[in-house]
Structure 1
Amino acid sequence: MIGEWNQGVGLNVTKSSEMRMEEIQKDLNNKTLRIVVKEEHPLVIVRHTDEDGNAIPEGSNEKFVGYAIDMMTEIGKYLNVSYTYQLVPDGSTGLPLSNGSWTGMIGMLMSNQADLAVGDVTINYERSSVIDFTKPFMNLGISILFKKPDEDPPKLFSFLEPLDNNIWMCMIGAYACVSLFLFIVARFSPYEWKNPHPCNLESDTVENDFTLLNSFWFNIGSLMQQGCELAPKASSTRIIAGVWWFFTLILISSYTANLAAFLTITRMTTPIKNADDLAKQTEIKYGCQFGGSTYRFFKNSKIPTYEKMWNFMSQHPDVFVNKSDLGIAKVKAGNYAYLMESIPLRYQLSQHCDLMEVGGELDSKGFGIGVPKNSPYRDALSNAILSLSEQQILLDLYNKWWNVDSPKCLTTDDSKSPSSASKLGLKNLGGIFVFLIGGLGLALIIAIIEFIVNATVNSKTDKQTLCSEIREECMFALKCCGPSEKPAKLSSVNGNSHLEDTGDDLEASTPLKSSRINSSFN
Structure 2
Amino acid sequence: MAVTSFSINSARSQVVDFTSPFFSTSLGIMVRTRDTASPIGAFMWPLHWSMWVGVFAALHLTALFLTLYEWRSPYGLTPRGRNRGTVFSYSSALNLCYAILFGRTVSSKTPKCPTGRFLMNLWAIFCLLVLSSYTANLAAVMVGDKTFEELSGIHDPKLHHPSQGFRFGTVWESSAEAYIKASFPEMHAHMRRHSAPTTPHGVAMLTSDPPKLNAFIMDKSLLDYEVSIDADCKLLTVGKPFAIEGYGIGLPQNSPLTSNLSEFISRYKSSGFIDLLHDKWYKMVPCGKRVFAVTETLQMGVYHFSGLFVLLCLGLGSALLTSLGEHVFYRLVLPRIRRGNKLQYWLHTSQKIHRALNTGPPEGQQERAEQERSGPKDELPATDGAGRWRRVRRAVERERRVRFLLEPGEAGGDRPWLCSNGPGLQAELRELELRIEAARERLRSALLRRGELRALLGDGTRLRPLRLLHAAPAES
Q: TM class by shorter-chain length? A: 0.5 to 0.7
Which of the pair is proportionally richer in strand? 1
Partner of 1:158: 42
Question: Residue 229 of structure 2: which of 332, 351, 356 is its match?
Answer: 351
Report the Cα offset of residue 207 of structure 1. Answer: 7.0
Q: Alignment partner of 1:122: what SS? A: coil
- For 1:220-258, what per-residue CA distance to the aligned partner results, in whole angstroms no more than 9, with x for missing partners? 000011244323332211211111111111111121121
Q: Alignment partner of 2:46: what SS? A: coil
Contact 2:31 2:238 in 1 (8 A): no
Question: Residue 398 of structure 1: which of 278, 283, 288 is its match?
Answer: 278
Partner of 1:495: none
Question: Residue 369 of structure 1: which of 241, 244, 249 is its match?
Answer: 249
Report the Cα offset of residue 142 of structure 1. Answer: 1.8
Q: 1:359 to 1:378 in 2, by over 3 A?
A: same
Partner of 1:253: 132
Partner of 1:243: 122
Report the Cα offset of residue 323 of structure 1. Answer: 2.3
Question: Residue 517 of structure 1: which of 388, 399, 407 is its match?
Answer: 407
Partner of 1:331: 206
Matched residue type, 2:187: M
Q: Distance in 2 between matches of 1:226 and 1:390?
A: 68
Contact 2:251 2:258 in 1 (8 A): yes
Contact 1:193 1:207 in 2 (8 A): no
TM (norm. structure 1) is 0.50
Q: Distance in 1 between matches of 2:196 and 2:78?
A: 87
Report the Cα offset of residue 213 of structure 1. Answer: 0.4
Contact 2:28 2:220 in 1 (8 A): yes
Contact 2:3 2:249 in 1 (8 A): yes
Q: Distance in 2 between matches of 1:406 and 1:154?
A: 26
Structure-to-structure mapping, 1:51-62, within 5 angstroms: none
Q: 1:145 to 1:271 in 2, by over 3 A?
A: closer
Q: Tell me, yes or no, if structure 1 residue 179 matches structure 2 residue 58.
A: no
Partner of 1:468: none
Deviates more, 1:204-213 or 1:320-329: 204-213
Report the Cα offset of residue 268 of structure 1. Answer: 3.1
Q: Distance in 1 between matches of 2:238 and 2:12?
A: 28
Q: Distance in 2 between matches of 1:307 and 1:191?
A: 83
Contact 2:169 2:191 in 1 (8 A): yes
Which of the pair is proportionally richer in helix? 2
Report the Cα offset of residue 321 of structure 1. Answer: 3.0
Report the Cα offset of residue 375 of structure 1. Answer: 5.1
TM (norm. structure 2) is 0.55
Report the Cα offset of residue 217 of structure 1. Answer: 0.6
Q: Alignment partner of 1:144: what SS? A: strand
Matched residue type, 1:260: A
Q: Tell me, yes or no, if structure 1 residue 137 matches structure 2 residue 22.
A: yes
Partner of 1:222: 100
Partner of 1:299: 181
Partner of 1:286: 168
- For 1:244-285, what per-residue CA distance to the aligned partner results, in whole angstroms no more than 9, with x for missing partners? 111111111121121122223x31333554553244224132
Report the Cα offset of residue 159 of structure 1. Answer: 1.0
Q: 1:515 to 1:331 in 2, by over 3 A?
A: closer
Q: Alignment partner of 2:145: what SS? A: coil
Question: Residue 11 of structure 2: which of 126, 139, 142 is its match?
Answer: 126
Q: CA RMSD in A?
A: 3.7
Partner of 1:310: 188
Report the Cα offset of residue 399 of structure 1. Answer: 2.6
Q: Alignment partner of 2:108: what SS? A: coil
Matched residue type, 2:38: P
Report the Cα offset of residue 340 of structure 1. Answer: 1.3
Report the Cα offset of residue 404 of structure 1. Answer: 2.1
Q: Distance in 2 between matches of 1:410 and 1:362?
A: 29
Q: Alignment partner of 1:364: what SS? A: strand
Report the Cα offset of residue 391 of structure 1. Answer: 3.5
Report the Cα offset of residue 184 of structure 1. Answer: 1.0
